[in-house]
Amino acid sequence: MTTSTLRREQPAFVETFQRLRLGPYLFVLGVAIIDFLVIGPAQFVNGLTIGAIYALVAIGYTMVYGIIELINFAHGDVFMVGAFTSMYVLTNVLGQDGPIKDPPVLAAVLFVDFAITMILLGILGTVIERFAYRPLRHAPRLAPLITAIGVSFILQNTIQILFGPSPVNTPQLISPTARVNVFGLDVGVVNIFTIVVSVSLMIALQLFVSRTRIGRAMRSTAMDREAAQLMGVDINRTIAITFFIGSALAGAAGVVQGLYFGNIQFTLGFQAGLKAFTAAVLGGIGNITGAALGGFIIGFVEVTAGAKGVFVWGQAAVFVVLILTLLFRPAGLLGQQIGERA
Amino acid sequence: MSAVGQAPAASSPGIREQVADLSSRHRSLSVIVGMTIVAAILPLIVLVPPFNSFSGQAVWMDGFTIAGIYVLLALGLNIVVGMSGLLDLGYAAFFAIGAYSYAFAASSFTHVNIPFWPMLLAGAAIAAVFGILLGAPTLRLRGDYLAIVTLGFGEIVPITILNSSKYTEGPNGIGGISAPSLLGTEFPTTGNPWPFYLTMLVMICISMILIYRLQDSRLGRAWAAIREDELAAAANGVNTVVTKLLAFALGASTAGLAGVFIAAKLQTVTPNLFRFDVSFTVLAMVVLGGMGNVWGVAVGAFVVFMIQSVFLKQLNLFFDNAHVPFLQDINFLDYQFLLYGIALVAMMLLRPEGLFPSRRRRRELHTDEDQEFGELGDELGASPE
Amino acid sequence: MKNAKIGALVAGAVIVLAACSSGGSTAAPTTAASTGTGASAAPAGSTAASKGELKLGVTLPLSGGAAADGQPTLKGAQLAVDQINTAGGIDGYTIKLVPLDHAVNGKYNEQQGAQDMQTFVSDPAVIGVVGPYNSAVAKVQIPISNAAGLLQCSPANTNESLTKPEFGALDYRKTNPTKINYIRVAATDDIQGPAMATYAYNTLGLKNMLVVDDVTTFGKGVADNFQKKFEALGGTVIRVGAGADTTDFNSIITDAKTKNPDGVYYGGVVTSGGGLLLKQLRQQGLTIPFTGPDGIVNGAGDAKGSLIQIAGAQAADNSYGTVAAIGDFPGKADFEKAFADHFASDADFKVAGAYSGPAYACATVILDSLKATLDANPTADQAAIREGVRAYASDPSHTFKTVLGDESFDKNGDTTQPFISFYKVDPTAKGGVGDWVFKEQQNFSANAPAAASPSP
């Protein structure tokens, strides 16, 4: 039954292989290569782009779940608020309404937009944690889950009241028709930008978590809250920082969403949140790299459905992937085996 | 459930306690009496101001009948969420399954015509089967994973119905569904609301009695035990998977029952009727009413539905007609889900046991207040053998 | 005939009102014009100036995202009622407009629609109902209004199964299959879809089209009809469904590009993602014609949430849309001016939408029928009035002078003048924000709709 007994019976090279834990990565690589061959390079870029956005959102889910074991249902809507914040910053603060040709100006505007949006969203995340989740940290599991659903409604409807129910245009700073030639393939500049930004943020986060003192506090809190507390970790502060980072990344994803699609709506968060959560579960909830990989896989699943003319089933396929994961590998690709009550 | 003696103690505890005591000993009877009183009062109360100025008695009763569907849904979800502590976010899927079962069984689309009454049971059974099919593999997982799987299931069912036009008429929905008939007379679509109203009443009555019986049974105690501590329950010999599965199946079957009813009432079903907001609305009803408390949940569902379908609308008309500046420009229906959101958060923070808490649930949620362990032991009975 | 006179009266009222309100007085909407409780009208019989109040119901989705569809339509009916009341009512009755909103969480909801219809049928003072907007809602409402014999006139429903027995309409009017109580002024999807197919194939010269639908009753229905006709004409179709919440169409477009479509048909409404589809098509470099039904013809580039606004005026160039109503009617400019003047002080939805005119026409049909009924029988009680209105309006021999032109209804309640108008986006219109401009219209008043050919 337990994995440890099975492991001992296997030959040495398998053991080494398992210790490196390369299996999941190879699996994802395999999926990517097969998918590449099935749908072709142009669709593959579509999948990577949308997958990058899901991955950024998924990281927030996984971090919060890792540290306080809460499915933060409001996270998808935090992402949506990020998209609206970015839209507001670009149009009303920075006065932009379309593509910027001059690279230094473009870089400066993008930097300011990302910085403001991420900081504001980080603050939103910590405020939600402070007032909606912290008081319930010792309550039965159901209570914070229901609160999270409530927060999700509040965010959605507040945005609807502020910006109206219709889809809203947001400036596409990078001309959506600009294309470059990458290895003989015609790729949109904004696609490359989306992928590069997302992957850079993920690498930065990974370094932060593994190299800094706060990152260590986060990891130790996730592992054993009481023990971490005994070792002098300020639990409340650590959890608040986790929410800050997760929500800031969702904010960044919101910025990217706006730049890529040029149009946002208050209902954006629900579907995106669901998919991102699926990505987090698929990758192994609590595991940041896993969430990123899961995001890309979900992107591939969706795009493959579109590429094969069965677009309408793409969404259902995502949930089927979710259910199958939970059935056959509840720990996800990279997650720890979780018992009944981890 | 055996009624030992009915003499109220002479040492005269307040009349309220006496009623409470009596009703807890004669649950079934008190449900019947209670529902009969409610059923008799509702049609009368709408004849007096201000209610009679909104709309006529028939419309009110039709509204109550639809409210009854939500009461049924809330009662069913309460088994899953309130009694057993499993969060089901895709509950509307079972509602849809029940409705489409009847649509397939009695409409011009399939040219089959199975009567309504047996289909009530069949619809409930079909929904329960789907509940078991979904629950069997997933209920082994921890609770919050279950929430997500059910959410996914709640999305998959309408998507599947939408995209299988050949079998379900897709987004068009299935029309021409037969209305129920009794003694050779078909229930009228409009005009006389009594047949649907009384049918709904009987359905709620029976469901409540059964749910009360279940709650007081060994199974009900096992649900409570799982909700409060699954490991401890398992250690005490409760078969947690089977117990949870039963909760899931019974919850689903109640939704199936409601589904058959709505199909017969509207005579048309479309996937749009079973979107995720139905699941969330019913969840809000259960939480606001007081998870675990059968009467509380029923009242919660009724009140929330009436606010949504009557109160906010009347507020709009009132301010429009009175030309109140500013307020007449607000469409209060736009704020419905904002209100749900605020209510859910406020409820969890301030009064997690709901507006009408069950005693058991209140104790559980106020863990740090002093508890009367003796009473807890009483209510749970001896630990399930 | 009498109705000609009434029509003239209404038309006159439009002009009078336009004149009045440009004088500057129009304040808040004046729906509840007079009289006391509103519970029910005073008993008929008194020949005094005021005989009380009769009600015209309106059933539309009015809140949230659906408000953009419902509100301008509601105001079309409201304008008609306000004008009648300003002109002194009908034979001593004032008309009260009673709008009920069946949007739940910002989207139309069938069950709420059914409840609202129960409200209308049980109020004896309601003589007719304008609406609904969505065909799916009509499917639950018609059984109720049919059983009660209450006239319903939809300005916007286009699904063919609501009226035509060969598409299953008898399922909806089971109680009184021969007493038509549901009429509509919009042409059905089995006309609208094929009309664009013919236009695309013959006029635009398209041969291989990408057809995307939003998997709704309306969108899928009209796209199916388009595809059938387009293929019958000899064209080929790449068919894809993309549900109502889709934001990312890139995979569909990338796939379609490999099949070299020379045009796109979007069966659906803009809120489902039509605007995003167009935007992403252009971003991927496809400048081929973009076509669609009335769901995409939803206002100029400065209207919030319109196709042109979402896609941008430049991207929206080379787009064509049909509207299932007469596009160029004689009183159009007057109507739009009267509308804009009447609602000038409102917070939103000040200008007429695509279905404001049809809603106005629906109200006219109902009110003209009321007038005819009361003229024939001045002492009719409310039940007799309701039945009189229903019988008069659904009688194929009657013709109504409406703002859309002469209107009458066939034995199923469909308009006998099913006009399809063709619009094209002009990106330079309205000072550069872009707008739809009327191209041409065709009258499909043939008996066999599937074989309907353009007969201008």
CATH code of the domain in which C267 resides: 3.40.50.2300
Tally of domains in chain C: 2
Assess whether C332 and C241 both reside in one domain.
Answer: no
The rounded percent of chain B whose pLDDT value lies above 90 is: 24
How many CA atoms are closer than 13 Å to the CA of C80, on its beta-carbon side?
Answer: 28
Question: What integer is the mean pLDDT of C333-349?
Answer: 85
Predicted pLDDT of residue B376: 40
> Is residue B325 exposed (0-12), middle (13-18) or buried (19+ Cβ within 10 Å)?
exposed
The rounded percent of chain C whose pLDDT value lies above 70 is: 86
Q: Which amino acid is at B158?
A: P
Local confidence band at B76 (pLDDT 50, 70, 90 cut-offs): very high
Assess whether C20 and C84 both reside in one domain.
Answer: yes
Determine, yes or no, domain membership for C434.
yes
Residue B56, sorted as left (phi over 0), alpha (psi -120 to 50) or beta, turns out to be beta
Q: B334: which chain A residues are within 8 Å (Cβ-Cβ)?
A: 157, 160-161
C43 pLDDT exceeds 50? no
Residue B268 in 3-state DSSP? coil
Q: Nearest residue on chain C to A53, judged by CA atoms? A: C248
Taking only the tens place, the pLDDT of each residue in A148-171 is 989 999 999 999 889 888 888 999
How many CA atoms are closer than 13 Å to the CA of B319, on its beta-carbon side?
Answer: 14
Strands (E), C30-181: 52-60, 93-101, 103-104, 107-108, 126-130, 152-154
Maximum pairwise Cα distance, chain C: 75
Q: Nearest residue on chain A to B351, judged by CA atoms? A: A143
Which among A141, A142, A151 is the top mutation candidate for probing chain B, defined by the most B β-carbons within 10 Å of its own β-carbon? A142
Closest-CA distance, B79 to chain C, in angstroms, reads 25
C450 pLDDT exceeds 50? no
Instruction: State the chains in contact with C (3 or more Cβ–Cβ pairs under 8 Å).
Output: A, B
Lowest average pLDDT, out of B375-379, C157-161, C412-416, goes to B375-379
Tell me which residue in A42, A169, A311 faces C310 most closely, judged by beta carbons.
Answer: A169
Lowest average pLDDT, out of A208-212, A332-336, C76-80, C81-85, goes to A332-336
Q: C269: which chain B residues are within 8 Å (Cβ-Cβ)?
A: none
Assess whether C79 and C205 both reside in one domain.
Answer: no
Local confidence band at B357 (pLDDT 50, 70, 90 cut-offs): low
C1 pLDDT exceeds 80? no
Determine, yes or no, domain membership for C253.
yes
Q: Residue A233 belongs to a domain with what CATH number? A: 1.10.3470
Question: What integer is the mean pLDDT of C271-297?
Answer: 89
Taking only the tens place, the pLDDT of each residue in B325-348 is 676 667 777 788 888 889 889 888
Instruction: State the chains in contact with A (3 or more Cβ–Cβ pairs under 8 Å).
Output: B, C
Q: A178: which chain C residues are within 8 Å (Cβ-Cβ)?
A: none
> Is residue B48 exposed (0-12), middle (13-18) or buried (19+ Cβ within 10 Å)?
exposed
Strands B185-186 and B181-182: antiparallel
Determine, yes or no, domain membership for A11.
no
Determine, yes or no, domain membership for A231.
yes
Closest-CA distance, B303 to chain C, in angstroms, reads 16
Preceding omega of C132 cis (within 30 degrees of 0):
yes
Tokens 């007994």, residue located: A5
* Residue C296 sits at the chain A interface (C-beta within 8 Å): no
Taking only the tens place, the pLDDT of each residue in C412-423 is 999 888 888 899
Helix, strand, coil proportions of chain A in percent (round to 5)?
75, 5, 20
Residues 69-88 of A with CB under 8 A from B: 69-71
Q: A46: which chain C residues are within 8 Å (Cβ-Cβ)?
A: 248, 250-251, 254
Q: Which residues contact B354 (CB under 8 A, 6 or more apart)?
A: B287, B288, B289, B290, B291, B293, B296, B297, B300, B347, B361
Predicted pLDDT of residue C88: 86
Domain coverage including residue C259: 189-323+419-451
Write the CA distances from C169 to A175, B173, B174, C141, C151, integer angstroms: 50, 13, 12, 13, 16
Tell me which residue in B144, B291, B340 faces A145 most closely, judged by beta carbons.
Answer: B144
Assess whether C24 and C165 both reside in one domain.
Answer: yes
C-beta atoms of B345 and A326 within 8 A: no
Local confidence band at C210 (pLDDT 50, 70, 90 cut-offs): very high
Local confidence band at C360 (pLDDT 50, 70, 90 cut-offs): very high
User: How do the domains of chain B map onto residue ranges?
Assistant: 58-275
Predicted pLDDT of residue C25: 35
Tell me which residue in C64, C243, C310 faces A315 most closely, judged by beta carbons.
Answer: C243
Assess whether C6 and C67 both reside in one domain.
Answer: yes
Determine, yes or no, domain membership for C414.
no
Determine, yes or no, domain membership for A262.
yes
Assess whether C167 and C279 both reside in one domain.
Answer: no
Determine, yes or no, domain membership for A318.
yes
Closest-CA distance, A189 to chain C, in angstroms, reads 11
The rounded percent of chain A whose pLDDT value lies above 90 is: 44
Assess whether C296 and C366 both reside in one domain.
Answer: no
Q: A320: which chain B residues are within 8 Å (Cβ-Cβ)?
A: 156
A249 pLDDT exceeds 90? yes
Q: Nearest residue on chain B to A150, judged by CA atoms? A: B341
Closest-CA distance, C102 to chain B, in angstroms, reads 9
Which among B130, B145, B148 is the top mutation candidate for probing chain A, defined by the most A β-carbons within 10 Å of its own β-carbon? B148
Predicted pLDDT of residue C174: 83
Local confidence band at C42 (pLDDT 50, 70, 90 cut-offs): very low
B102 pLDDT exceeds 90? yes
Dihedral sign from CA coordinates of A284, A286, A289, A295: positive
C-beta atoms of B344 and A149 within 8 A: yes
A117 pLDDT exceeds 90? yes
Q: What is the mean pLDDT of chain A?
A: 86
Determine, yes or no, domain membership for C336.
yes
Predicted pLDDT of residue C239: 92
Taking only the tens place, the pLDDT of each residue in A276-289 is 988 998 888 888 88
Which among C63, C82, C382 is the top mutation candidate for probing chain B, defined by the most B β-carbons within 10 Å of its own β-carbon? C63
Predicted pLDDT of residue B259: 95
The rounded percent of chain B whose pLDDT value lies above 70 is: 85
The answer to whether the pTM exceeds 0.80 is yes
Determine, yes or no, domain membership for A51.
yes
Which among C119, C157, C218 is the top mutation candidate for probing chain B, defined by the most B β-carbons within 10 Å of its own β-carbon? C119
C44 pLDDT exceeds 70? no
Highest averaged pLDDT of the listed ranges A50-64, B157-171, C91-105, C179-193? A50-64
CA distance A100 to A110: 10
Taking only the tens place, the pLDDT of each residue in B276-285 is 889 988 998 8
Domain coverage including residue A168: 20-328
Tell me how far the alpha carbon of residue A177 is from its chain's centroid.
Answer: 26
Total beta-carbon pairs less than 8 A apart between chain A and chain B:
133
> Is residue B111 exposed (0-12), middle (13-18) or buried (19+ Cβ within 10 Å)?
exposed
Taking only the tens place, the pLDDT of each residue in B266-300 is 988 989 889 888 998 899 889 888 888 888 899 98
Maximum pairwise Cα distance, chain A: 65
* Residue A47 sits at the chain C interface (C-beta within 8 Å): yes
CA distance A64 to B15: 50
Predicted pLDDT of residue B112: 82
C-beta atoms of B341 and A145 within 8 A: no
Predicted pLDDT of residue A244: 96
Local confidence band at B230 (pLDDT 50, 70, 90 cut-offs): confident
B246 pLDDT exceeds 70? yes
Q: B144: which chain A residues are within 8 Å (Cβ-Cβ)?
A: 69-71, 141, 145
Tell me which residue in A153, A270, A330 faces B141 most closely, judged by beta carbons.
Answer: A330
Local confidence band at C454 (pLDDT 50, 70, 90 cut-offs): very low
Local confidence band at A15 (pLDDT 50, 70, 90 cut-offs): low
Question: What integer is the mean pLDDT of C23-29?
Answer: 35
Taking only the tens place, the pLDDT of each residue in A224-235 is 888 888 888 899
C330 pLDDT exceeds 80? no
- Angle at B347 (CA atoms; ends B345, B349), nearest 5 degrees: 70
The rounded percent of chain A whose pLDDT value lies above 70 is: 92
CA distance B54 to B32: 30
Q: What is the mean pLDDT of chain C?
A: 82
Determine, yes or no, domain membership for A8.
no
C-beta atoms of A165 and C242 within 8 A: no
Tell me which residue in B159, B341, B365 faces A139 most closely, judged by beta carbons.
Answer: B365
Determine, yes or no, domain membership for C412.
no
Closest-CA distance, A166 to chain C, in angstroms, reads 5
Determine, yes or no, domain membership for A333.
no
Q: A167: which chain C residues are within 8 Å (Cβ-Cβ)?
A: 271, 275-276, 305, 310
Predicted pLDDT of residue A16: 66
Assess whether C276 and C332 both reside in one domain.
Answer: no
Tell me which residue in C63, C146, C215 faces B171 most closely, judged by beta carbons.
Answer: C215
Tally of domains in chain A: 1
C341 pLDDT exceeds 60? yes
Taking only the tens place, the pLDDT of each residue in A276-329 is 988 998 888 888 888 999 999 999 999 999 888 888 888 888 888 888 887 788
Q: A42: which chain C residues are within 8 Å (Cβ-Cβ)?
A: 254, 257
Task: Answer for the pair A128, A243: CB distance below 8 angstroms, yes or no.
Answer: yes
Preceding omega of C289 cis (within 30 degrees of 0):
no
Which among C107, C215, C255 is the top mutation candidate for probing chain A, defined by the most A β-carbons within 10 Å of its own β-carbon? C255
Strands C103-104 and A185-188: unpaired
Question: What integer is the mean pLDDT of C316-345?
Answer: 84
Determine, yes or no, domain membership for C96.
yes
Q: A156: which chain B residues are within 8 Å (Cβ-Cβ)?
A: 337, 341
Q: C285: which chain A residues are within 8 Å (Cβ-Cβ)?
A: 177, 179
Task: Answer for the pair A279, A286: CB distance below 8 angstroms, yes or no.
Answer: no
CA distance A204 to A217: 17
Higher per-residue pLDDT: A8 or C218: C218
